[in-house]
Homo-oligomer: A and B are copies of this chain.
Amino acid sequence: MSDQSSSTRSALPPPPTGSRPKMTSRGRTAAPPANSNLDTSDIPEYEYFVAPGPRGYPPLTEYLDIYDVDMKRHAEEKNRTSHNTHLFNLDTLVVRRGQEFEIKITFNRPYKPSEDKFAVEFVIGSSPQFSKGTYMPVFPTKERQTRWAGRVIDTFENTVTMGITPDSSCIVGKYHMYVAVVTPYGIRRTKREAARDLYILFNPWAADDEVFLNDETERQECVMNEMGIIYHGSFDDVSERTWNFGQFNFGILDACLYILDRSEMPIANRGDAVKVVRQASAMLNSRDDDGVLVGNWSGDYTYGVAPTSWTGSTDILLGYVNSQSPVCYAQCWVFAAVFNTFLRCLGIPSRVVTNYFSAHDNNGNLKTDIILDENGRVDRGRTKDSIWNYHCWNECYMARKDLPAGFGGWQVVDATPQETSDGMYRCGPASVNAIKHGQVFYPYDAPFVFAEVNSDVVFYTRGKDGTLDPVKVNHSHVGRGIFTKTPGELTRKEITEQYKFAEGSTEERTVLQKAEEFGCKREESDPLPADVDLVLPSVELAVGQDLELSVEFVNRSQQRRTMDAYVSGSVVYYTGVTSSEFLFRTPSVTLGPNKSVKELVNIEARSYMKHLVEQANLNFIVTGKVKETGQIVTAMKVVTLRNPKLAVEVSGVAKVNEDMLATVQFTNPFTFNLEGIYLRMEGPGAMLPRFRYYSLLTPNSSVVWTESFSPQRAGITKIIASLDCPALRQVYGEASLTVEP
């Protein structure tokens, strides 16, 4: 026995040198979990059941032999058109689950059903297992069937046309296919060939699929349409921009599967739409997990592409796959648009929605606090909450078999990194119907979404001792309107009533009370409204224009009212966060009984131009304290600045595979130079993303950029262009064209 060390107080061994040891799965699981669709495990070509005889293994050659397998994989074939996968720019077969597809097998001789035994086998991921759904044999005979149905549709000479119907809840991803002939002595199989691989997707057309959507117009929009419209700006003055989701572009489907692989999501879970969308909501942002997009709201995009500059999802998804690291940069509409591409690509019906005046970072607390000092002026140092002018998220459509009946249908998912959703940067799926009815305890993250559309805005005055007294509660400001693109049209559709009952209705009050029971806390006080109203009119303003703001004070009482008002104008991000205050006035107002007075405030363009951030919004807040009553009055108005437009023109004969030209033109309308300009252009089914860089554009000079392209398919499409430079962002233009077949 030897004793080499004396007893010590701390019992930790020295840390290992080199990299920190990782958890291993040895001893914990019999096989490492299959969590990558790129991993494969080949099945042997021969599998003997019997021991070798004196002359080795018996020859299997006397049995049926397989000469060829035709997957009928091309875009114009029935497998693709009837499965609504003909738009995928891929030579591999793409089908949807719960629906039959056909393959043609050529043998060495005619197939004899009474004698010959064969199976078509589908395999996904490493360590395929029948019980996990990662190995699935399909048989041509009625007597022997698995969860995937098989049948012989037709035989002709040596060929058999076989119909295969993957289970409507099977795993979604890329499978390998084998044909195996079963003999008494063993199994003989085809070798793996890339041409026989196939993708199986979710199927909104199949009644048994959890993503079944029983409306062809909706399906055409929410699965098949590559061209999206995203609403932004402000509630009073909705702006829109076109986005190329590009879910059918070459490489996008593989990119979507790569995202799931990168997240190490077990293959066996990938048939479950709830799990797939939840995992993806975490993976679309780079927080925690090196996901697809890096969020950046700082205005400094030196090391990447400005969020406002993207015109579609293709570059982002291919960039993520090629670099294997997160793509810079995104804000909410970019997260939502790329998430939409992911969902539509895999066959989950989805749409981008915009919520105007979205309450944020309040973690299920139904209050956004605005702090005023004792004189009624906004205390910007103490007002930490913000209401986003708008926020974009996604809705996806599914049955929610994990919840009691009544909560299927549209589900909110949100990939924009929030601070507090379950401690992680993910959100949803949360049933829209559960949100409407205040059933916020059903997973996932419903209280968070409930607060985004239902919060109260509470104005407090701060006492000298640090306590806050609520002086005004605005119940209707947040979640003012929720919009999405109308299916099959280019207009917007209001879906606010799917999230909330009418303001002031009995149902609305009941729902708010119910939600409150389960942790969504509201402001309880409800101070009396003041008898003086403040009115700020809607304003349309182009970047660089002067503005005359009219502030109307209305006395609804029978007495005289006097007040010192504070008129504050700030440049704000679309997140509602103030960048800088460019205007501060303190008019004194005297109002006779039942009288009103208008104060005019003149604002020169140069006072706000130097403060502009990328999504140029001016936020005006007027507050004041009525001297006679001590009541606080407030009014807020967001003015979205109108940017100049890009001129986009197309010329040539709009016909499939014919060459055409697209021209983008822009003239600098300002009196200052524009520097570091990126122009971007792309079009759904017509042009892949392209860009051009210009270092300088002097006042009144122009850029003209012409690109040739040839449309890939018939129908209406657009060429979408953007211009982006640090001094001027969010400049868009587009041209429509109708492509003949």
Contact = CB atoms under 8 A, between A and B. Distances in A.
Interface of A: 1-13, 15-16, 20-31, 33, 49, 117, 119, 121, 127, 129-132, 135, 137, 139, 144, 146, 180, 182, 187, 263, 265-266, 268-269, 272, 275, 278-279, 282, 286-289, 294-299, 303-305, 315, 318-319, 322-323, 325-328, 360-361, 363, 367, 369, 371, 382-386, 401-404, 417, 419-420, 422-424, 440-444, 447, 460, 462, 464-468, 517-519, 573, 575, 577-579, 613, 680, 688-698, 701-703, 705, 707
Contacts of A275: 423
B21 A182 contact: no
Copies of this protein, total: 2
Contacts of A117: 465
A632 to B, nearest CB: 16
11 contacts: A7-B690, A7-B691, A7-B707, A11-B315, A25-B297, A29-B419, A49-B464, A130-B467, A265-B423, A403-B441, A404-B518
A2 B146 contact: no
A26 B299 contact: yes
Contact of A688 (B9, B286, B327): B9
B707 A131 contact: no
Given A1-B697, A29-B386, A288-B288, 9 more contacts: A1-B694, A9-B689, A16-B303, A27-B575, A28-B577, A130-B462, A131-B367, A139-B465, A404-B441
Contact of A27 (B15, B31, B268, B573): B573
Contacts of A384: 29-31, 127, 129, 132
Contact of A294 (B22, B144, B402, B692): B22
Grouping DSSP codes into helix (H, G, I), strand (E, B) and loop, the A interface class, with mixed when no group exceeds half, is loop
Contacts of A279: 423
A297 B702 CA distance: 67
A265 B468 CA distance: 25
Contacts of A27: 297-299, 573, 575, 577, 579, 613
Given A23-B296, A127-B384, A130-B466, A695 B403 contact: no
Nearest to A519: B402
Contacts of A49: 464
Nearest to A440: B402
From A5, A423, A465, A705, residue with most partner B Cβ within 10 Å: A423
Nearest to A49: B464
A382 B30 CA distance: 9
Given A33-B361, A286-B23, A304 B4 contact: no
